[in-house]
Amino acid sequence: MDAQTLYDKLWNAHVVRQEADGTALIYIDRHLVHEVTSPQAFEGLKLAGRKLWRTASILAVADHNVPTTGRAQGIADPIARLQVETLDSNCAEFGVNEFRMNDVRQGIVHVIGPEQGATLPGMTVVCGDSHTSTHGAFAALAFGIGTSEVEHVMATQCLLMKKSKAMQVVVEGALGKGVTAKDIALAVIGKIGTAGGTGYAIEFSGSTIRGLSMEGRMTLCNMAIEAGARAGMIAADDTTINYLKGRPFAPQGAAWDQAVAYWRTLHSDDGAQFDATIKLDAAQIKPQVTWGTSPEMVVAVDGRVPDPATMSDPVKREGAERALQYMGLAANTPITEIKIDKVFIGSCTNARIEDLRAAAMVARGKHVAPNVKLAMVVPGSGLVKQQAEQEGLDRIFIAAGFEWRDPGCSMCLAMNDDRLAPGERCASTSNRNFEGRQGPGGRTHLVSPEMAAAAAIAGHFVDVSVD
Amino acid sequence: MNKFTLLNGLVVPLDRANVDTDAIIPKQFLKSIKRSGFGPNAFDEWRYLDHGEPGMDNSKRPLNPDFVLNQPRYQGAQILLARENFGCGSSREHAPWALEDYGFRVIIAPSFADIFFNNCFKNGLLPIRLAAEQVDALFKAVEAMPGYRLKVDLERQTITAPDGTVYPFEVEAFRKHCLLNGLDDIGLTLQHVGEIAAYEAKHRAAQPWLFA
């Protein structure tokens, strides 16, 4: 057989049938469900009198709407409360396994799946959420779907789709001090643009990627969608397998050994052909900061806000002008001179234990700058929070003037009460800097946890790669 | 799902690249557990001068006169002309729900984000990719001529401009078939129950830990 990519292997292993035009019916192993994109799907099932095809494939959790403080009092916003209660009642009615809001295992869906071992190599993983690409870090084929497809998977365990093209992003070499998976992700997006990966599944490979922890790999695959790719993925290796061993949903005993033997085959073969290849030298990647309203509007922290006047493409120039106006920034301003009002450390991109450790290392023994009105740390799950507290990270953050919150999506998309006021500028470890994303009129700069913590302490962006 | 066959519709030009789904329907409206009623909040932050929240009477809110959808000449538009990477960002199907509820049936752009593109077809909305130069030409033509309409024929896969120019477009055969007939995907897939069950049995034998 010809040399196959990891994507070929995952795809071929899940084809149920194929139409003449290439549209395939793909079997889905794991379906993650949250409160925002599922109520209409459950309602559709009920209206049509359909049942779940395989109830045990579903794991549900409320994350987008949950408050990050005062959770014992419930959700104050009646509309948000109804949405979370609707998930609870749908899961109860259909017998779906759900981690409820006050369960210690509750958290952001893309944090808890891997944490529980509910995401495994070789799986197809879907969720009504674009950041499902995160799970590809485990050599899984994972992608976000809309609500109609959520219903489709519930009823049939399958999805109708066409195979994407395959892109490899190869990163070689050692990362410099203070440079993280987040910076790799932003550097890739800066290079290929937010539509650069449209129509592709991206495999990240190379020595730099092999050297990343699972947390780092998840950060990178999480942002594949910001490069336009529905799926990002990384080959399975010892790092993957060691992370999963002993997790509640992971196989055990003889089944574990059988699974591991299969997982070891989940990599692209030598000589496998990709439709596109992008190469990056890790040593050239510096800490990244976005300056505009799209993740591709990004520069290194030692750079300056670009000048739209120098852009030849009129659509790009107009976009940059509009972005600078929205962001309240002047062209050519050094990034390190941009002062911030708020700091958000959290989200499915950067709220895992390693992210919190990295931010705490920067904040240890220091204090949030007086011009920073709020610096908040929102762990990705109740278990991440517990682990961080066992390590004393909460005390480091609190002593430094950060708020230590309960887990959820929080100010990544500001569906709950955590949001920016109009005009406020935020250093955020999240994934989207769109207009209004963190609150109407809010201004978001995407950075790594280290960069966010350092900005909180200094009150403006600083280069964590220099002493 | 609504069928789509032929449309002779008024065109509105939305001249920005990378229009994301947060812009199409802001997050506060995602708290709804229904799939209808999002139209009045499509492009909420651009369309109104105040801040919108669920439950407001949108007919009483101040409109932003500079936003193209609010201009009198574009009222009743059914075709949205857009720039590259339209619909990027979140997977929220609320975005096509909002556009469809507003009255759009066709979106023309040089490129679309994958998930949004896919979601459109589930809701009787036809996203059409044309070359960037063709989209550019359409922007100029629309802006130059009030009442500019395009004829979209899905069966023939053509767009016809008032001056007679015909723009052929691509659409996957299966999606076209579903849209022309207003077919429900789930019903179609359930015609293959036997094949799904057979696959599942084989898959379970090969990777039993997935079914533990």
Every domain of chain A and the residues it spans: 6-161+238-243, 165-236+268-284, 288-458
Beta bridge mates, B101: none
Q: How far is CA A244 from the centre of its chain?
A: 19
* Cβ count near B10 (within 10 Å): 18
Assigned domain for B1 exists: no
pLDDT for res B2: 82
The rounded percent of chain A whose pLDDT value lies above 90 is: 97
Judge residue B140's burial from the number of C-beta atoms within 10 Å of its C-beta, 0-12 exposed, 13-18 middle, 19 or more buried: exposed
Assigned domain for B200 exists: yes
pLDDT for res A422: 96
Assigned domain for B126 exists: yes
| Torsion region of B85: left, alpha or beta (phi above 0 gives left; psi -120 to 50 gives alpha) | left
Measured between CA atoms, the residue of chain A closest to residue B82 is A315
CATH number of the domain to which B73 belongs: 3.20.19.10
Note whether B162 and B186 are same-domain residues. Answer: no
Judge residue A190's burial from the number of C-beta atoms within 10 Å of its C-beta, 0-12 exposed, 13-18 middle, 19 or more buried: buried
Half-sphere exposure of A439 (CA within 13 A, CB side): 19
Q: Which residues of B touch A132 (CB under 8 A)?
A: 91
Residue B11 has pLDDT above 70, yes or no: yes
Query: pLDDT digits over A110-167, tens only?
Result: 999 999 999 999 999 999 999 999 999 999 999 999 999 999 999 999 999 999 999 9
- Between CA A256 and CA A246 the distance in angstroms is 10
- Between CA B27 and CA A64 the distance in angstroms is 10
Query: Are A6-161+238-243 and A288-458 in the same CATH fold?
Result: yes
Note whether B115 and B39 are same-domain residues. Answer: yes
Assigned domain for B177 exists: no
Residue B206 — very low, low, confident or very high, per pLDDT cuts 50/70/90? Answer: very high
Residue among A6, A8, A13 at smallest CA distance from A240 = A6
**Cβ atoms A98, A88 nearer than 8 A:** yes
Note whether B191 and B112 are same-domain residues. Answer: no
Residue among A153, A119, A8 at smallest CA distance from B210 = A119
Note whether B163 and B199 are same-domain residues. Answer: no
- Between CA A407 and CA A347 the distance in angstroms is 9
Residue B190 at interface with chain A, using a CB cutoff of 8 Å: yes
Residue A379 — very low, low, confident or very high, per pLDDT cuts 50/70/90? Answer: very high
Of all helices (H) and strands (E), which one includes residue B165? none
- Residues A326-341 have a mean pLDDT of 98
Residue B195 at interface with chain A, using a CB cutoff of 8 Å: yes
What's the helix, strand, coil split of chain B in %, to 5? 40, 15, 40
Q: Which residue in A83, A128, A143 is closest to B31 by CB distance?
A: A83
- Cβ contacts of B172 within 8 Å, gap of 6 or more: A21, A23, A162
Fold classification of A6-161+238-243 is Aconitase; domain 3 (3.30.499)
Note whether B75 and B152 are same-domain residues. Answer: yes
Note whether B94 and B186 are same-domain residues. Answer: no
Assigned domain for B59 exists: yes
- Which A residues in the span 176-235 are in contact with B, Cβ-Cβ below 8 Å? 194-195, 198-199, 225, 228-230
Query: pLDDT digits over A11-38, tens only?
Result: 999 999 998 889 999 999 999 999 999 9
Note whether B153 and B210 are same-domain residues. Answer: no
Residue A437 has pLDDT above 80, yes or no: yes
Look at A18-22, A144-148, A185-189, A442-446 and tell me which has the smallest mean pLDDT. A18-22
pLDDT for res A315: 87
Query: pLDDT digits over A231-278, tens only?
Result: 999 999 999 999 999 999 999 999 999 999 999 999 999 999 999 999
**Among B31, B44, B84, B170, the residue to mutate for chain A (most A Cβ within 10 A):** B31
Measured between CA atoms, the residue of chain B closest to residue A410 is B27
**Cβ atoms B89, A115 nearer than 8 A:** no
- Cβ contacts of A430 within 8 Å, gap of 6 or more: A344, A346, A347, A349, A350, A411, A412, A413, A437, A438, A444, A446
Tell me the pLDDT of chain A averaged across its residues: 97
Query: pLDDT digits over A291-325, tens only?
Result: 999 999 999 999 999 999 999 999 899 999 999 99
Assigned domain for B176 exists: no
**Among A27, A123, A149, the residue to mutate for chain B (most B Cβ within 10 A):** A149
Q: Which residues of A touch B99 (CB under 8 A)?
A: none
pLDDT for res A20: 86
Tell me the pLDDT of chain B averaged across its residues: 96
- Token pair, residue A360, equals 């705490």
Assigned domain for B132 exists: yes
Half-sphere exposure of B70 (CA within 13 A, CB side): 18
Note whether B89 and B143 are same-domain residues. Answer: yes
pLDDT for res A90: 98
Into how many domains does chain B fold? 2
Measured between CA atoms, the residue of chain A closest to residue B23 is A435
Note whether B97 and B51 are same-domain residues. Answer: yes
- Between CA A221 and CA A224 the distance in angstroms is 5
Fold classification of A288-458 is Aconitase; domain 3 (3.30.499)
pLDDT for res B184: 84
Note whether B114 and B48 are same-domain residues. Answer: yes
**Cβ atoms B82, B113 nearer than 8 A:** no
At residue A108's C-alpha, the angle toward residues A106 and A112, to 5°, is 65
Query: pLDDT digits over A211-243, tens only?
Result: 999 999 999 999 999 999 999 999 999 999 999
Domain residues for B22? 6-170
Residue A289 has pLDDT above 90, yes or no: yes
Query: pLDDT digits over A395-420, tens only?
Result: 999 999 999 999 999 999 999 999 99
Note whether B150 and B190 are same-domain residues. Answer: no
Residue A1 has pLDDT above 70, yes or no: no
Assigned domain for B188 exists: yes
- Residues A333-357 have a mean pLDDT of 98
The rounded percent of chain A whose pLDDT value lies above 70 is: 100
Fold classification of A165-236+268-284 is Aconitase; Domain 2 (3.40.1060)
Note whether B186 and B166 are same-domain residues. Answer: no
Q: What ipTM is given for this predicted complex? A: 0.95
- Between CA A35 and CA A87 the distance in angstroms is 5
- Between CA A225 and CA A396 the distance in angstroms is 33
Measured between CA atoms, the residue of chain B closest to residue A148 is B122
